């Protein structure tokens, strides 16, 4: 029998995901002020196609049709992020009611369509005014985040099924402040590790504030995790893979789930760049969470000697290896090594160079295969006893793919940015059929 949703637990949650800066547009409307990504887009050379988020998918004005699309596919959950620059535009202080009103309408629109709202409080669009005061390198920003989180949760309440504090702290810290490919585009390891620590602190501070609201919503965080595989069994490759896993995964998992930084990586980094961890910080950061969101895209194939993947390896348009087995391996490892709350795959999907064919359709067979294979891997994890409770496809819409601008298409729905026409891709039609449970005769 081909893979069917009936192979999954009957209460397994199927959803799709987006993020505010990537789809909303309306960058200067209803009181929103610039984020660090508005600033980053304006810096020549930062975005491969020179684009920005001023219009994006115009979701701010087209949200009702987009929610209709989610409903038409039979998805029962939608993960989206709140734009801090709409809610408290200067980062601290005055609340912009028009910003809260937008998300209020969005949440009510989802509920009216029988779709669960799942909120990410921070998906990278930090108010620029806070960056002007040091951004996440400044410990004060963690406290500002907790204030912002409390404002959002006080308004949206437990209409929202889950609140994730952060999306991908590794991207916010390392990719953005050590590697420099994302906003604010720094290349400073000490700064990056300070940012990571302040994110962990902010996560804890916000959790405390949200817990105090006595919501029925689940509270958690979303981590991008990339399992590292040594290219060979030799010691140099195994050591390199352990280091990659420690820097990319355990540096973010352990503070949240174990209340400590991994000792091997702490020693590896060395005193010069280590963050200033104050008493109580890690106790705050490791408060119990109700769920852990895992964003999985591919694995890391680690070779100390420059060995590459074999001929015939499949890649997505991002140049990422298609490796569905890595999802199962990752989830089973998490279940083995950590005391886990509920797990959700909060992002999995692929970019392919989709085009609208002459028949007006988007025949994205590679994406359908990608999803099928990763669904199977998720099922393998469930059958291995992993407390996996749901899966969100990244992404509902083609959207602003950060430093790649609009050149990479991750959506199960195609967006023509010139006309804003949405076209449901074949992968979405397959997903719709996958989700249709045949009614018993
Ligand atoms: N790149 N890529 C696709 C996708 C990105 O569009 C999301 O915003 C991130 O949460 C995560 O990196 C994954």
Answer yes or no: is pLDDT of 440 > 80.
no
Dump pLDDT digits (tens) for 357-384.
Answer: 999 999 999 999 999 999 999 999 999 9
Pairwise CA distance, residues 106 & 215, whole Å = 19
Dump pLDDT digits (tens) for 274-306.
Answer: 999 999 999 999 999 999 999 999 999 999 999
Domains observed in the chain: 5-435 (3.20.20.80)
Cα(348) to ligand 1 centroid in Å equals: 9
- Work out the pLDDT band at 5, boundaries 50, 70, 90: very high
Atom of ligand 1 at shortest range from CA of 404:
1
Q: What is the pLDDT of residue 1?
A: 74
Pairwise CA distance, residues 85 & 87, whole Å = 6
Q: What is the pLDDT of residue 335?
A: 98
Answer yes or no: is pLDDT of 441 > 90.
no
Vertex 14: Cα angle to 12 and 15 (nearest 5): 145
Compute the average pLDDT of residues 171-192. Answer: 98
Atom of ligand 1 at shortest range from CA of 297:
13
Cβ of 167 closer than 6 Å to ligand 1, yes or no, is: yes
Strand, helix or coil for residue 416: strand
Cβ of 410 closer than 6 Å to ligand 1, yes or no, is: yes
Cα(20) to ligand 1 centroid in Å equals: 12
Rg (CA), the chain: 21
Question: Does 63 carry a binding-site annotation?
Answer: no
Question: Does 323 carry a binding-site annotation?
Answer: no
ipTM of the complex, rounded to two decimals: 0.99
DSSP code of residue 159: G
Which pTM does this prediction carry? 0.98
Concerning whether 325 is annotated as a catalytic residue, the answer is no
Q: Are 121 and 81 in contact (CB under 8 A)?
A: yes
Ligand 1 site-directed mutation target among 124, 402, 405, 412, most atoms within 8 Å of CB: 402
Cα(410) to ligand 1 centroid in Å equals: 9
Q: What is the pLDDT of residue 2?
A: 83
Token readout for 151 is 């404002």
Q: Are 237 and 231 in contact (CB under 8 A)?
A: yes
| Atom 6, ligand 1: residue with shortest CA distance | 401
Q: What is the pLDDT of residue 437?
A: 81
Catalytic residue (choose from 24, 137, 178, 347): 347
Nearest to 52 by CA among 61, 63, 60, 44: 44
Catalytic residue (choose from 168, 272, 321, 358): 168
Compute the average pLDDT of residues 155-170. Answer: 98
Cβ of 392 closer than 6 Å to ligand 1, yes or no, is: no
Cα(241) to ligand 1 centroid in Å equals: 23
Contact partners, residue 56, CB within 8 Å, separation at least 6: 21, 22, 23, 24, 25, 399, 400
Cβ of 19 closer than 6 Å to ligand 1, yes or no, is: yes
* HSE value, Cβ hemisphere, 13 Å, CA-based, for 59: 28
Q: What is the pLDDT of residue 438?
A: 75
Question: Does 394 carry a binding-site annotation?
Answer: yes
Pairwise CA distance, residues 18 & 391, whole Å = 13
| Atom 2, ligand 1: residue with shortest CA distance | 401
Pairwise CA distance, residues 138 & 276, whole Å = 11
Pairwise CA distance, residues 21 & 81, whole Å = 9
Atom of ligand 1 at shortest range from CA of 410:
3
Residue 53: what are its φ and ψ, rounded to 5°?
-100, 20
Vertex 201: Cα angle to 286 and 13 (nearest 5): 55
Cα(347) to ligand 1 centroid in Å equals: 8
Pairwise CA distance, residues 37 & 188, whole Å = 19
Q: What is the pLDDT of residue 124?
A: 99
Question: Does 22 carry a binding-site annotation?
Answer: yes
Concerning whether 311 is annotated as a catalytic residue, the answer is no
Summary mean pLDDT of the chain: 98
Answer yes or no: is pLDDT of 140 > 80.
yes
In the numeric block, the tokens 């949240």 are attached to 256
Atom of ligand 1 at shortest range from CA of 168:
10
**Cα 162 to Cα 28, 116, 194, 290, 403, distances in angstroms:** 28, 9, 27, 9, 28
Cα(298) to ligand 1 centroid in Å equals: 12
Pairwise CA distance, residues 93 & 127, whole Å = 12
């Amino acid at each position: 029998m081909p893979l069917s949703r009936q192979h999954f637990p009957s209460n397994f949650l199927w959803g799709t995901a987006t993020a505010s800066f990537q789809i909303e547009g309306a960058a200067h409307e209803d009181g929103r002020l610039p984020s660090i990504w508005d600033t980053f887009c304006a810096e020549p050379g930062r975005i491969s196609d020179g684009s920005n988020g001023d219009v994006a998918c115009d979701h701010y004005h087209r949200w009702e049709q987009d929610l209709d699309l989610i409903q038409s596919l039979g998805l029962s959950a939608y993960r989206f992020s709140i734009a801090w620059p709409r809610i408290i535009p200067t980062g601290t202080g005055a609340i912009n009611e028009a910003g809260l009103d937008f998300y209020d309408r969005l949440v009510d629109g989802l509920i009216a369509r029988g779709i669960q709202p799942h909120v990410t409080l921070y998906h990278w669009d930090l108010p620029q005014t806070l960056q002007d005061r040091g951004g996440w390198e400044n410990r004060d920003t963690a406290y500002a985040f907790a204030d912002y989180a409390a404002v959002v949760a006080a308004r949206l309440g437990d209409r929202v099924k889950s609140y994730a504090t952060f999306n991908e702290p590794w991207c916010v810290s390392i990719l953005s402040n050590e590697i420099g490919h994302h906003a604010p585009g720094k290349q400073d390891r000490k700064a990056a590790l300070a940012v990571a620590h302040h994110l962990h602190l902010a996560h804890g501070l916000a959790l405390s504030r949200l817990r105090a609201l006595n919501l029925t919503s689940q509270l958690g965080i979303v981590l991008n995790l990339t399992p590292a595989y040594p290219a060979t069994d030799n010691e140099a490759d195994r050591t390199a893979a352990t280091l990659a896993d420690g820097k990319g995964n355990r540096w973010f998992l352990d503070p949240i789930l174990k209340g400590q930084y991994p000792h091997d990586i702490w020693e590896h980094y060395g005193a010069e760049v280590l963050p200033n961890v104050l008493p109580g910080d890690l106790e705050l950061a490791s408060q119990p969470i109700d769920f852990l969101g895992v964003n999985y895209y591919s694995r890391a194939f680690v070779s100390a000697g420059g060995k590459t993947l074999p001929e015939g390896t499949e890649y997505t348009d991002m140049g990422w290896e298609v490796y569905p087995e890595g999802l199962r391996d990752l989830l089973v490892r998490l279940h083995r090594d950590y005391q886990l709350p509920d797990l959700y795959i909060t992002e999995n999907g692929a970019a392919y160079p989709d085009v609208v064919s002459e028949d007006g359709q988007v025949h994205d067979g590679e994406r359908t295969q990608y999803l099928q294979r990763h669904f199977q891997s998720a099922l393998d994890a469930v059958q291995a006893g992993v407390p996996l409770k749901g899966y969100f496809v990244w992404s509902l819409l083609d959207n602003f793919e950060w430093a790649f601008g609009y050149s990479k298409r991750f959506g199960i729905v195609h967006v023509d940015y010139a006309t804003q026409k949405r076209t449901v891709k074949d992968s979405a039609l397959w997903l719709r059929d996958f989700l249709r449970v045949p009614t018993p005769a």
